[in-house]
A and B are shown apart, each in its own frame.
Chain A
Amino acid sequence: QVQLVQSGAEVKKPGASVKVSCKASGFTLTNYGIKWIRQAPGQGLEWMGWISGHNPHYTQKFQGRVTMTTDASANTAYLELRSLTYDDTAVYYCARDREAGYGSSWYPWGQGTLVSVSS
């Protein structure tokens, strides 16, 4: 069964960093692009960037503050976000390209990881 399972909820203080994992099963993660999307409470979806193999592509908003990586041996992708502010409180999703080589739509999605930034 093709699925993505993300790590559990995190509570961080402003200025800290968080690292969210996204473990793949049923397919080889590095054969597909993995997208990262976040959703603030009560808000819409926000695209953050993606990684293909070991090549990351970040949207300008998060440049310098985000790192996306993959660990082929663990079949897992990671999202690290640094210098957290209250505005980073959101559910963070990973999602796989629907088909290898076709990166414009995404299935499946992970279940989401809630990151709460609170003092």
Chain B
Amino acid sequence: QSALTQSASVSGSPGQSIIISCSGDGSNVGGYNLVSWYQQHPGKAPKLLIYEENKRPSGVSNRFSGSKSGNTASLTISGLQTEDEADYYCCSYAGGGTYVFGSGTKVTVL
């Protein structure tokens, strides 16, 4: 199972909004409503930001939102802040009890 496709890097200025995309196919992203997003700061474990495409766990800022159209899922970060500088990974159920991660996107706050 190949990794889902994400842009290698996205950047924005504080206060701006950015969108990170995650492209798959009908056997993963497009076939299930089970995309999640994780934020990872250097040297730290990933942190769950979004589950089931657009749901936020308790404690996650509402500046993070998720959506999906066809085989592409997206994570929007609104009101970009310096602490948002991190790597972001999407993950999708891929059938048969398996999951596949995206290739990761590095977010830089200018």
Residues of A within 8 A of B (CB): 35, 37, 44-47, 50, 57, 59, 93, 95, 98, 104-107, 109-112
What 16 new A-B contacts, CB under 8 Å, besides A35-B99, A104-B51? A37-B101, A44-B103, A45-B38, A45-B89, A46-B101, A57-B97, A59-B1, A93-B45, A95-B46, A104-B34, A104-B36, A104-B93, A105-B51, A109-B45, A109-B47, A112-B45
Q: From A6, which residue of chain B is reached at the shortest CB distance? A: B45
Whole-angstrom distance from the CB of B93 to the nearest CB of chain A?
Answer: 5
**Contact between B46 and A109 (Cβ–Cβ < 8 Å)?**
yes
Q: Compute how far the CA of A78 lies from the CA of B15 in the bound complex, rounded to whole angstroms.
A: 43
Total interface residues in chain B, CB < 8 Å: 24
In the assembled complex, B48 has its CB within 8 A of some CB on chain A = yes
- Residues of B87-102 whose CB lies within 8 A of A: 89, 91, 93, 97-102
Contact status of A110 and B45, CB under 8 A, knowing A44-B3, A104-B34: yes
Main secondary structure on A side of the interface with B = strand
Out of A47, A57, A107, A111, name the residue touching B48 (CB < 8 Å): A107
Find out whether the CB atom of A98 lies under 8 angstroms from the CB atom of B48: yes
Contact B101 A105 (CB under 8 A): no
- Name the residue of chain A whose CB is nearest to the CB of B3: A44
* 8 A Cβ contacts from B38-92 to A: 38, 40, 45-48, 51-52, 57, 89, 91
Contact status A59-B36, CB under 8 Å: no
Cβ contact within 8 Å between A44 and B89: yes
| Neighbouring B residues of A104 by C-beta, 8 Å | 34, 36, 51-52, 93, 99
B24 close to chain A: CB less than 8 A = no
Nearest CB to that of A44 among chain B residues? Answer: B104
